[in-house]
Structure 1
Amino acid sequence: MPDTMRLTDEEKAVRREIEDWQHADASVASQAMDWAMRPVDWAVEQVVSPDQMDQVTDRVEQFLSTLSDASEWTHAADDILAAAEDRGLPAESVQDLRNRPVADLDELARSRFRQNTLLAALEGGGTGLAGTAFVAADIPLLFTINLRLIQQIAASYGFSLEGPMFQPLVLSIFNVAASGGREARNEALREVSVAAAAFADDLDYAGRVSGTFRDQNRHLPREIAKTLLERKLGQTVPLAGAAVGAGVNYWFTTQTAESAFMCARALYLDWKERR
């Protein structure tokens, strides 16, 4: 393999971090959320009917199924390019950032975390005050914030994920954030590998080609919706709505940031090894 395609020692260390994340158990944040939400989950079961759950799940599933169609207006490349300029990483296009050291790009990507997690928490707390009526509206807003976050993090490493063709990759990252499971991480990194090959060969990305994954991808929005709704419907519990709304949104956006961060780093390294 030519020297230009080999990873540096720093990049090999990042690869090991990604592998550790891939094979780790559920994060401490996910475990803590599970523990904290147990009494709220019980209360939700008492006040939310199965029909109400199905109605909200259907709306969220429909939104997630068409989510990437909104990608053109949820992310502006100028934001990342301006942030890169502020950090001494001038670039004329997002793609130019691929030639920067991974440590610099890690810093750029992390700079997107705080503003989005706080925005999601504020939005969740506000809609949480309104209880059941705003749960169905809150979740699409939450996913819109998180889609923008995924795109910003990917762009920090030089990859633009705009357009419906990136739906499989975006959904796989959301699935990691919602479930925290090891298998979800494996699936996401397999999808990253496909995307990296497409970018390296200047081909259109179309997601994995196996029939099994396509069948799974049709069901993925519903699985993500159900997982998140088990937490979000805690907003319907009297006196707890605002706190639960803010807390769940903060937790989910933090999980999305970590998942997108690891997947974008993997995309950067996979692309470099293939080019």
Structure 2
Amino acid sequence: MYESQVAEEVIRWKRKLEKRPSLTGRYTKGLQAKMNKMIPEKLHTVVTTSIKNMVHATLVGSEYTTKKQPELALSLKEREEKVYSLIKSYKRTAALEGAGTGAGGILLGMADFPLLLSIKMKFLFDTASAYGYDVGDYRERLFVLYLFQLAFAREEKRPMLIEKLECWEDEKERLPDKDQYLAEFDWKTFQLDYRDYIDLPKMLQLIPGFGAFVGAAANYRFLDILGETAMNGYRMRWLSE
């Protein structure tokens, strides 16, 4: 019963992601492009460097993998009860972090990017363990990166990413070794997609005082989106296996 309900939810989620952007969505995208030109170059540099460091730490570091042991011998329902708890906890953490950095204007606002990235990646690694996957395996870390990318990808890239996640068991068998993959990883495109997605709310977060409210709301929403993406990504694997 529970798995049938989950399967239906996955179908609805995929349909939502694959829909053409609404008029409001297209307007927001145009507004983001204009705002992008107004953001100081120093802030762009912070985002670029933070993304590059995050990708490297995810694939080869131990920052997110320490003490993360996969949950074994649990039903899908039991696993998802743990994941719902993780989402609730991490949304609260992200909101508090966004409020704190948003209250300080541009300097603390810039500090928010690497902090928020760290919160997101720790959430994804904890979620992978809750679903029973060993993040000590570089291929599982790569799956985590694809989940992150899907959560904040442009509309035209989503179908390709969903297909890759759906066929992950076949996909991972074709992967090169870790060092080769890291050398060829297109982190620049990866960070541009992420930056474009978050530009508008993060620009508002740099306004002293007002930024505290925006920072809390934006970070809470980002973790909500990431949680939904992660759950459905792992649900697809569970159902296919």
Residue 73 of structure 1: CA displacement?
Answer: 3.0
Cα pair 1:153 1:260 within 8 Å, conserved: yes
Matched residue SS, 2:133: coil
Cα pair 2:51 2:191 within 8 Å, conserved: yes
Structure 1: gaps spanning 5 or more residues? 1-8, 79-92, 208-213
| 1:204 to 1:230, Cα distance in 2 relative to 1, 3 A | same
Structure 2: gaps spanning 5 or more residues? 178-183
Q: 1:144 is matched with which residue?
A: 118
Moved more, 175-184 or 257-266: 175-184
| 1:249 to 1:152, Cα distance in 2 relative to 1, 3 A | same
- The structure 1 residue matched to 2:227, chosen from 257, 264, 267, is 257
Q: 2:45 is matched with which residue?
A: 55
Matched residue SS, 2:167: helix
Partners of 1:240 and 1:70 lie apart in 2 by 38
Give the number of the structure whose alpha-carbon radius of gyration is greater: 1
Task: Give a deviation string over 1:206-254, Cα, whole Å, max 9, x none.
Answer: 59xxxxxx77666223321332233212222243211111111111111
The 5 A counterparts of 1:119-130 are 119-130=93-104
The 5 A counterparts of 1:1-275 are 10-25=2-17, 48-49=39-40, 51-69=41-59, 72-75=62-65, 77=67, 94=70, 96-97=72-73, 100-162=74-136, 164-179=138-153, 181=155, 183-184=157-158, 186-194=160-168, 196-197=169-170, 219-270=189-240, 272=241
Cα pair 2:104 2:209 within 8 Å, conserved: no
Q: 1:87 is matched with which residue?
A: none
Query: How many pairs does the alignment contain?
Result: 232
Moved more, 245-254 or 178-187: 178-187
Residue 112 of structure 1: CA displacement?
Answer: 0.8
Q: Output the TM-score relative to the length of structure 2.
A: 0.76
Cα pair 1:109 1:153 within 8 Å, conserved: yes
Matched residue SS, 1:159: coil
Q: 2:181 is matched with which residue?
A: none
Residue 75 of structure 1: CA displacement?
Answer: 4.6
Which letter maps to 2:211? G
Which letter maps to 1:13? Q
| % same residue | 19
What RMSD in Å do the two structures reach over aligned CA positions? 3.8
Partners of 2:117 and 2:170 lie apart in 1 by 27
| 1:45 to 1:176, Cα distance in 2 relative to 1, 3 A | closer
Cα pair 1:131 1:241 within 8 Å, conserved: yes
| 1:247 to 1:42, Cα distance in 2 relative to 1, 3 A | farther
Residue 60 of structure 1: CA displacement?
Answer: 3.1
Partners of 2:229 and 2:155 lie apart in 1 by 11
